[in-house]
Structure 1
Amino acid sequence: MEGDNCSFPPDLSDDHSQRGSVASSATLSRAQDVLVYLFGESAVHLSVEGLGSVSVQELGRSVREALQIPESAQDAFAFWLCSPLLELQLKPRHQPYKLCRQWQDLLYRFTDASEEDISQDEPYLQYRRNVFYPKSKELQIEDETVLRLLFEEARSNILTGRYPCDPEHWAGLGALSLALEEGAGLDSQQTTAKIREKKLPSFVPAHVATGSGGFFSTLRGKSSRQAELEQKLSKEYRQLSVSTGTSPEPQQLLHQYLRMCHVLPYYGCAFFCGEIDKPVQGILQRGKRKAVSVGICLDGVYVIDVKEKHVLLGLRFSELSWDHSYPEEEGDSHILWLEFDGEEDGTAVNKLLKIYSKQAELMSGFIEFCVELKSASEGGAAAEAGGETGAPQEPAGQEAGARNGRGGRRGMLQRQGSVVCSRVHSLNTISYVDNGKEIKRLKPKRAASFFARQAPAPTYSAVQTESLEQG
């Protein structure tokens, strides 16, 4: 599902004006029955008294009891109200039935869907990973039911391309998925037979299984590409069998799958849809835009090319400033602005990326909330350590970037062919230098933001974009 996503939903009052009720409000209230969907094509059926006023917190107790989720893992999941057009992570005090009655208003406010699509859209209730749940806590979970719920969601995001990954990554994940379904003791013939029986899209991302098309793909042929993918999966499966043995515990395989997913910086993100400007390569391409998915989590912001399935820009919060702006005239767009350090013709510059999205305000608020939450968490950890550590620790592999330059300028990126690496050179950005010298546009005015109130001192401030929109 690649619809617009907002995991930081606004609070709508119960008497909010309505353009009409949606069918799902009747569905949820009928006979006081609730279907809560899970990943992996399963659902939990509940009968709830007084469904019209039941809260997420109350509903959560019933679902956890039905799934036998231990109390230690109750914060790992949250309720989401989802449809192909919009996804909302609900707060404990939200009432799903009442939000369903306001669904069309949410679609008008936060999507560009047509009136016809909005009138036919129907949300469903889903129980899935809480976007604010730390990855480190997942690996402490031993309950197989909880691990399988996390696994099914992660696998879905891998197979649909929401989590872009490199060939060696998706092959390893595909092998683990096969081992979880069939065990780790299959021989070569059995492995190939099971892959063919269940079909490649059950183990590798859909865009990999179907191929990207084009002349060379046609020349090589579909069958040879399929055979190559089967061989790659079989090889990874054999290596897995050697390393884990023929009878590994399910928890071991589930932990291994999640650990591999944790390498992807956008694992656990809330995803928003938007567009960015394409680089101008001629008069005919002027004004064209590219669809992107914006992933935001406790670690940073990631802009992903929806078509090509690779990262265009990945920034930790210490490496960026942000702001959002509303349309000034009819036909203008809501914009999320991301500012970060870059380079142009050997000169260190500040770069601004414009992301057009009706959820720009939501993304901006979500970023600030994540920064506050992360800051409070790191502050608490530092206090427990007795103040021995001066600055919060950065994620592994990123320390060098944090030490280079103001705001943590990133070091040289490795493996530029990787889908995880940023492709700043392919972005259409606005560039300027610190002293105000014009390169493409004048440096915008700057104002104190949340970062200006944080320690350590060398951090960014938000960007005021009013003058840029007119230029």
Structure 2
Amino acid sequence: MSTDDAQAPFRAAGISDVRSPTRSDIPTRPMEIVIYSMNKTGYVMKCENGRNTTVAEVHQRMMKTLQLPNIYGPVFALWMTSPLLQVQLKSDQRPSRIRKQWKAMLAKFTTAAILEMETDEPVLSFQRNVFLPIDVEEKIADREVVKLLYEEAVQNVVKYRYPTAKAKCISLAAIQAKIEHKAVTLEIVKESVERLLPVHYRYANRWMSRIKEDEKLAAQVVGECRGTEEVRDDVTCMKKYLAECREFPFYGSIFFYGQIQHERTRFVGQRKDRRVRVAINYTHLHVIDVLTNEIIVGVSLDEMRWDFHPAKSIGDHVFSSFFIEFDCEFNFSHQKVCHQMQIFTRQAAMMDAMVDRCANGLGRREFDDMVERMEQATAEQSDCRSELGCFKRGASIHSQHLVNKVKVDRINEDGSLISPKRSSRRQQPAAS
């Protein structure tokens, strides 16, 4: 079904106009909702409990509709997303109530203008659980589960949510082309290049026309296909695509938005804050520049400290603060110094909760139980994994340009500042 047709039942249900019941046992009229998978397919679902329908009920129906084994239930979660905000819903929440509160959530957690909030239209989506550990995902061999994970990874790469190098994008596009086309030719790839590569690389050379740029990229993709081993099994190709994506330390992240201050020098006056998005997954945190999509800093959760300070007051230009602190070498010397970064954001509380759960391994038991059931169901699951090497967990990466581009305070082991601390133009909230 088309996207427009799929969205109509969700709007027609009048979810945003329905008054939430005070008790869950109040009878309500059945309603229809639409849940999207990451390949943009909409699934119309009739909910007999109406607005009292819980996320757990919708999740169970989706597992049945997609014919996924119940054992893989923890792999996926129900999300409510829009261009302004993305939220993974809890099993006991009601989608209708979250939809009704959406504008209030936008006002609380985003800096969107009133017109943007008024026209924002969230949708329900069935996506990867952000708390799914990488080592657990690697053990999944079910075809339909792997396909859903693959489709989500493709969207994150092609939509350029992941800051991926051009050579890596070409390699991933070659795998995707093999999955989508039996015979990969230059003409076929040219017609589908917009579905294979991020638009960022298609317009990288402003002096070259889009047609010529697409031809050049298509030739590189075809060349990559010819230089790799021929694999006819789609599942094997999907696993290979996922294995390469898992090498990214930011794979499977949820994204938050905020801003940081530029480093202030005596030659350049104070500039506007740098807009960033913060990617957090089960093992790492990355701060990424929104404009250039480059990684400013990335650090393992095991090697960082963090703190959350709520804003003292409410206003358009008042933000909460999320602090991160980590150790690394200073100016390529062997001297270990402590870097501190302050991120101004209205999503600081959400970031704090996310890091706390991931860093402390909360919810890990659920996935360990799933792995145990998988191993009991079949002893051949481990043989279905790709033979590609896995990314070594726990390693941290840091941008070499960090100290020149953003405001950080550098502290010696004895606690003294290496660089003088500049005064923030925002009022610092009191320590909680």
TM-score (norm 1): 0.74
Alpha-carbon deviation of 1:151? 1.2
- Take 1:263 and 1:284, find their aligned partners in 2: how far apart are those partners? 38
Show CA shifts across 1:145-191 (max 9, x none): 222211111111101111111222111110111111112x44xxxx1
| Structure 1 residue 128 corresponds to structure 2 residue 127 | yes
Change (3 A) 1:231 1:45: same
How many residue pairs match? The answer is: 382
Q: Pick from 12, 25, 31 the counterpart of residue 16 of structure 2.
A: 25
- Take 2:84 and 2:14, find their aligned partners in 1: how far apart are those partners? 15
| Structure 1 residue 280 corresponds to structure 2 residue 264 | yes
1:261-272 → structure 2 map (5 Å cutoff): 261-272=245-256
Alpha-carbon deviation of 1:98? 1.0
**Aligned partner letter, 1:336:** F
Structure 2 gap ranges (5+): 1-12, 20-27, 373-389, 423-427
| Structure 1 residue 194 corresponds to structure 2 residue 195 | no
- Take 1:31 and 1:283, find their aligned partners in 2: how far apart are those partners? 65
Residue of structure 2 in register with 1:366 after alignment: 354
Show CA shifts across 1:4-40 (max 9, x none): xxxxxxxxxxxxxxxxxx9652499986111001111
**Aligned partner letter, 2:414:** N
SS at 2:236's partner residue? Answer: helix
| Structure 1 residue 67 corresponds to structure 2 residue 49 | no
Change (3 A) 1:81 1:315: same
Residue of structure 2 in register with 1:210 after alignment: 203
Residue of structure 2 in register with 1:181 after alignment: 180
Change (3 A) 1:76 1:27: farther
- Take 2:401 and 2:67, find their aligned partners in 1: how far apart are those partners? 44
Change (3 A) 1:315 1:34: same
**Aligned partner letter, 1:436:** G
- Take 2:242 and 2:18, find their aligned partners in 1: how far apart are those partners? 35
1:136-147 → structure 2 map (5 Å cutoff): 136-147=135-146
| Structure 1 residue 159 corresponds to structure 2 residue 158 | yes
**Aligned partner letter, 1:203:** L
Contact 1:279 1:428 in 2 (8 A): yes
Show CA shifts across 1:281-317 (max 9, x none): 5666514111211111110211112222221111111
- Take 2:48 and 2:251, find their aligned partners in 1: how far apart are those partners? 36
- Take 2:190 and 2:284, find their aligned partners in 1: how far apart are those partners? 39
Contact 2:29 2:49 in 1 (8 A): no
- Take 1:276 and 1:23, find their aligned partners in 2: how far apart are those partners? 39
Structure 1 gap ranges (5+): 1-21, 385-394, 402-409, 414-419, 444-464
Contact 1:23 1:122 in 2 (8 A): no
Query: CA RMSD, aligned part only?
Result: 3.1
Q: Pick from 424, 427, 451 the counterpart of residue 406 of structure 2.
A: 427
Residue of structure 2 in register with 1:340 after alignment: 326
Change (3 A) 1:208 1:116: same
| Structure 1 residue 319 corresponds to structure 2 residue 303 | yes
Change (3 A) 1:30 1:258: farther
Change (3 A) 1:42 1:422: farther
Alpha-carbon deviation of 1:135? 2.1
SS at 1:349's partner residue? Answer: strand
Contact 1:303 1:313 in 2 (8 A): yes
Alpha-carbon deviation of 1:134? 1.9
Residue of structure 1 in register with 2:35 after alignment: 36
Residue of structure 2 in register with 1:437 after alignment: 416
Show CA shifts across 1:242-300 (max 9, x none): x134xx21111111111011011111111101111123356665141112111111102
- Take 1:278 and 1:121, find their aligned partners in 2: how far apart are those partners? 31
Alpha-carbon deviation of 1:343? 3.8
Residue of structure 1 in register with 2:4 after alignment: none
Contact 1:271 1:293 in 2 (8 A): yes
1:90-101 → structure 2 map (5 Å cutoff): 90-101=89-100
SS at 1:308's partner residue? Answer: coil
**Aligned partner letter, 1:305:** D
Show CA shifts across 1:434-453 (max 9, x none): 2133333479xxxxxxxxxx
**Aligned partner letter, 1:334:** S
- Take 2:274 and 2:346, find their aligned partners in 1: how far apart are those partners? 15
Residue of structure 1 in register with 2:387 after alignment: none
Contact 1:297 1:370 in 2 (8 A): yes
Alpha-carbon deviation of 1:397? 4.4
Change (3 A) 1:30 1:115: farther
- Take 1:133 and 1:178, find their aligned partners in 2: how far apart are those partners? 27
**Aligned partner letter, 1:126:** S
Alpha-carbon deviation of 1:319? 1.4
Q: Pick from 240, 263, 270 the counterpart of residue 256 of structure 1.
A: 240
